[in-house]
Each structure stands twice: as C-alpha cells, then as structure tokens.
Structure 1
Amino acid sequence: MLRSTFFLILLVMCALPLSAKKGESLFDRWSRTEGKSIDIYLNLDTLLANRNTTNVMRGTVVDSGLHLGVDIHVRGRFRRRTCALPPILLQFDKDPLVLAGLNTHNDYKLVTPCTDDAAGQDAILRENLVYELYRTIDPEASYRTHLLTITYHNTADGSSFTSYGLVIEDTDELEDRLEASNCEDCYNQPVANYTNAETVALFQYMVGNADYSTSLARNLKLMQAEDGRLTAVPYDFDFCGVVNPTYGRLIHPEQDNMTDRVWVWEFQALPQLDQAASEFALLEDELLAQVEAYTPLSYDSRREIKVYLKDFFRDLKRNRIGR
C-alpha cells in the first residue's frame, strides 16, 4: 500500500509541469455551480492577530468532500486594517489539485465582507455585480469572479459563521486566455500603447470608480501582448458608486459623496470616445437587464443601481462625459 502510494505521488510530481495549464481549474469547477458552498478551516484568531503582517498560515478548504491544503495570506491595504474580516489570498497546494483532475492554477483572491452585518453582505454582492457588468462589456479582457457561500470554521475555539465571499480567478488564467503577460513595470505609457484606455475609463466613470490609475497601474492589471501593446484589466471596485459601502472613503478631491462620478483621464492626448461610447450605448438595455436579473441583491439595491446607471446613460447620450 505504501509503495503504491509513493509511486502515485511520484507520478503526480513528474506530470506537474505538463499538466499545469491543461484541463479545468479549481475556479472552473466552482463556477459551474450557482450558489456554490465551501468550508474553510483556519485559526481565525491567528489570522486577525497577524492582519498587518506578511505571515502565512495554513488552512484547509473543503469542497464537496474534497480536502485541499492551502496557504492563507492577508492582503489589501485599507481593508486589511479596518475590516472585521480582511480579504485574503488562498494559495492551494498543487499536488491535491492534480490528484483531483484539476490543473495547477492555485492563487485565488478572496474578497470578504468588510462589516459583519447586512450592509457588508450587500457590498459583496454589489462588487460582484460590477465585475459581471464589466465582463459583459469585455468578455475576454476581464477577471472572472464567482460568488461563494463560505462557512468559516475557527480551529482556535470551534466556532463558525457563514458569509458570502467573492473569489477572483488566478491572474495566470487571465494571461492564458489573453495570450499575454502581466506587465508589472509598465508605468506612464502613452495612450497609443493601449488597446482599451477609453473603454476602461468610461466603465470606471459609469460605475463611479475613481480608485484607479492607468499611469501607476493601480487597481489595473496591464496585460502585454507580444507586439508590446497593453490591455488594461480593472479590478477592486469596492469604493465605487455602485457599491457605495458604509465603510467607504472618498478617493478624489472632486468627490463630496461616494456616488459622485469623476472623469479620470491621465493621458496628454484627448480621449477618442466615439467608438467606446457607441458600444456602451448599444449595451444599455442588456446592462440594466443584468442588474434586474441579479436576484441575490435585494429589490431596493437593484432599483438604486439601475437609477444610478440610467443617469450615466443620459449623460452619455448628451455627450457630457470626458469633454
């Protein structure tokens, strides 16, 4: 028995480099199921005590009977300091993924509710909706996300609680899909080097997000193709007007409220908005229907978001944006 187990592990180790990017990922597995539930076992007391450190702790994720070892890192800046449960990075052990028939994409950001009340759950749902709206606008150059119901088991005292969590696909998966690499030092690039600068700026304005910078690559992944051109992929929308969280803080000096829209354009060249604006206008009905169909959110929240987006489309039709 021990010998056969040893040879199985050896076979898995030899196959790892070949299987790393083949087959479905853990994210793919999760995304096939609406209302997906998982369990995370960790020493929550230790996690919270080390929220301001780079310390790594061990945990276990249980998915329909499949036990996966995981390194857990606290991440983020503002939320790691202030939230009841800080956002975390789950870095799964690769061998069990391969044994489960999955590929070895194993780094997943988990967005957690900042407050332990109904408003915190509402904010997570809204942020997931923003990611999904951007995927409607650009299905390829966008992060895939999936809403999970997570039961956290605190191994320190045996307590547990259940909450929504938003899992974001591994950036390596995004790179594979775009056949591009994540450029980590592409700062202060001219607008001509981008494939989608106007689209990203218009979307950020639509959802009321000023918490990003193209020139500094803040809250954007800059994916670089072989020809050197960059495609910006936005993420981290928790301070945007659509989410409008109770814990939010104003980002831009022109904002008086979280829902105030600010046009952010950091290039010397003027934006060429006609094509992007036309594409957004064509998607108005689809985007509003997408909000209406997002039933995890309450009726009141969906109505509020639709009113907010309709204001954007009115300004778009009147050529009041980016002028």
Structure 2
Amino acid sequence: MKKLLYTFVSACLLGLCSIENLQAQGGLFKTEEPLAIELNFSIKQLRSDTNDSTYIDSKMIYEVSPGKTDTLDIEIRTRGNFRLENCFYPPMRIRIKKEDVENTLFKGDRSIKLVLPCSKSKTADNFLGKEYLSYKLYEEVTQYYFQTRPLRVKLTNTDDKKGEVVELLGFFIEDDDEVADRFDGEILDGKKIIPTLMEDTATVRHDFFQMMIGNTDWSGLFQHNQKVMKLDEKTVIPLAYDFDMTGLVNPPYAQVNSAVGIEKVTDRVYRGFCRDPALMQTIRQEFLAKEATIFKTVDEYKQYFSEADLKTVNTFLKDYFDLLKSDKLFQQKILDSCRKNEAAQSF
C-alpha cells in the first residue's frame, strides 16, 4: 500500500492526480479516501436468487468528485458461509462488465468483494471498522495482501416498505486474480497444499500476524479464509483474508472451533507449524521492530471505530508485543506450542 500511495502522491506532484486521470488508470485502490456509493436492491432476492455462479442485476452510484456522481450497471451475488447464514447483510461480490469500466475508477477491478456490517445494530460499524483495520495491519507485516478501499454506503433495501436509506460503513476487497496479477502469480484454488510446503518466511509472518490479531478461523490446508498463491514452480505463499472472527474485532457472533483449545476469540493461540527456530526468532524480531508502526496504523484508522474500541484494540495488541518481548512466554506460547509436522494434514 505504501508503494501505491507513493505513486499517487507522485502523480499529484506532477499534476496528474485528477479524478479523470485516476479513472483512466483504474484508481479504485490508489487512495484510502472513503468512496461514497449508493446501492438499491432486495436483500431477500439476493439471498434467494444468487449463488456462486448466479447474479442479480442492479446499479451502483458512486462519487467521482465532490457533488458529482456516476452510475454503473452491476451484477451482485452472495458469497461466503458463516456470515451468509448468520448476518442480516450478507457478504457480496460485485461484477461489472468489461466495456462499462473503461475510463472509470473500476478499470482493472471489475470483480470485487463487498463487505458490510453483519447486523443492523448501531454498533455494527465499529466491528466492521476493526475488521478493515486488520487488513491495514496485515499490510505492515507482509508484501502479499489483498488491497482494500473503505466505503460510505447508502443502501436502500427494497424489501423495506418505508423505503428508508441506511448509511453504513463498508469496504471493497481486491479480487483474487488481481492480487495474482500484481505478483505474476497464480491462485491455486481447490488444491490442498500442506502448510509445511509453503515458503517458510512468508508463512511464519502470516502465522505470527494471525496470532497477533487473535485469529484461529483459518486453515492453509483447506484454504479456509486463506488463499494460496503460486509465485514460481517451487514457491507458494499464503494470502490471508476474512478477519472478523478474531480477538481484535471480537464481534457478538464470534465463535471458536472446540478443537483449537481456547474458549473465546480473545484467547490467543499459535496455530502455525513449527519451523526452524532461528527463522521464528528472526520473525519475532521483525514484529518487535514494527511495534511502533503497528500502533501508528491503529491511530491512523481510529476514525472507523469508537474510542472505547480504540482502547481495547491497543490493549489487545500490547499484550501480544509483551508476549514477544518475554523469552519465557515466547518459548512457551510459540516455540513450544507450534504444531508439529505430523499434524500437517489436519485442520
């Protein structure tokens, strides 16, 4: 993301950062300014008439400059599992025809994931904001990540007889294939890759991060909330996503797998496999060196959640860095607790 921001700032200094230029370049993820969009559809129809291959037609109005909007014909479908079944606002995928995105903000990003709050409660945006923060924190520890863009969403659910417009926080997530294109890689969908065969440095960084945010809701082998990207013939790396069921976010619907051995998502456990202890010590030092950056990032995105949540997030992250600073706790909670190779074919 820092590289994207540098490119954006450089363009501005050259007088090339107008809305029109950003649109021509495909600028959806070139800035972190919240994008205002408007959507109008039936949530009931979305649930009943769509699946992984079936979409419904709709339109999206988006802001191209202050006071100026444009409209795109779009297709929408549901996606996901847990939130699809348990949330009022299901996770969605938006698809735009190739000919419609030319010279728009969405050029190069015509298939994108849309994340909205789970419920209609007044505090739902706070949990969404902390989930968005998790993606930004991940950018600080690895070069392999999904780009995101925050949204200010005006949504009209046509099932509502009053026709009320609700205003929600949301964000777009880059499509899998677009991530692969950025790295000249390939997403290995549907293939079971034993985690110990993944590139060790990128994988250990991923595993340390998942422990940092308190996430156990992932599996490399079964590609649960994780994609696997092939960089070359011998190198595959993890791509993490879907950070809602974490201790950092701690939503009301959070659950933990009983097999993991913790009672609640705010209990940390290291779920990575054992690697060379020297490498794990190296990644430990990497994270400790980024402690100030991590807390600075939290401060940069605090607008997306409450003051109380800010304090909770900072405390939760501080506990992790305290663990890393303690030789005793690091040995006990990570080096002695990492998963052994014989467990490599289990969840």
TM over 0.5: yes
Residue 44 of structure 1 corresponds to which residue in structure 2? 43
**TM-score, structure 2 as length reference:** 0.79
Quick one: distance in 2 between partners of 1:312 and 1:220?
22
Quick one: distance in 2 between partners of 1:53 and 1:137?
32
Asked if 1:245 is matched to 2:251, the reply is yes
Residue 320 of structure 2 corresponds to which residue in structure 1? 312
1:213-232 → structure 2 map (5 Å cutoff): 213-232=219-238
Check the 8 A contact 1:51/1:80 in 2, yes or no: no
Offset at 1:27? 2.4
Check the 8 A contact 2:24/2:103 in 1, yes or no: no
| AA at the equivalent of 1:264 | R
1:61-210 → structure 2 map (5 Å cutoff): 61-64=60-63, 65-100=69-104, 103-138=107-142, 140-155=143-158, 157=161, 158-189=163-194, 191-194=196-199, 195-210=201-216
Residue 11 of structure 2 corresponds to which residue in structure 1? none
1:260-299 → structure 2 map (5 Å cutoff): 260-266=267-273, 272-296=279-303, 297-299=305-307
Q: Secondary structure at the match of 2:133?
A: helix
Check the 8 A contact 2:220/2:227 in 1, yes or no: no
Q: Secondary structure at the match of 2:217?
A: coil
Asked if 1:302 is matched to 2:297, the reply is no
- The CA deviation string for residues 203-250 of structure 1, in whole angstroms up to 9 with x for no partner, is 000100000112222111111012330111100011000000011112
**Cα separation, partners in 2 of 1:276 and 1:186, compared to 1, 3 Å:** farther
**Cα separation, partners in 2 of 1:132 and 1:101, compared to 1, 3 Å:** closer
| AA at the equivalent of 1:322 | I
Q: Secondary structure at the match of 1:246?
A: coil
**Cα separation, partners in 2 of 1:289 and 1:100, compared to 1, 3 Å:** closer
How many residues were matched structurally? 298
Q: Between 64-73 and 249-258, report the one with greater CA deviation.
A: 249-258
- The CA deviation string for residues 235-278 of structure 1, in whole angstroms up to 9 with x for no partner, is 001100000001111234312122011111246x5664111111
Percent of aligned positions that are identical: 25
Unaligned stretches of 5+ residues in structure 1: 1-21
| AA at the equivalent of 2:313 | I
**Cα separation, partners in 2 of 1:219 and 1:34, compared to 1, 3 Å:** same
Quick one: distance in 1 between partners of 2:27 and 2:75?
15
Quick one: distance in 2 between partners of 1:49 and 1:180?
35
Offset at 1:155? 4.4
**Cα separation, partners in 2 of 1:102 and 1:111, compared to 1, 3 Å:** closer
Offset at 1:284? 0.4
Check the 8 A contact 1:74/1:89 in 2, yes or no: yes
**Cα separation, partners in 2 of 1:102 and 1:201, compared to 1, 3 Å:** closer
Quick one: distance in 2 between partners of 1:101 and 1:294?
23
Q: Which residue of the other structure, out of 249, 254, 257, is the alignment partner of 2:264?
A: 257
Check the 8 A contact 1:51/1:86 in 2, yes or no: no
Q: Secondary structure at the match of 1:306?
A: helix
| AA at the equivalent of 2:59 | T
**Cα separation, partners in 2 of 1:103 and 1:228, compared to 1, 3 Å:** farther
Quick one: distance in 1 between partners of 2:54 and 2:197?
41
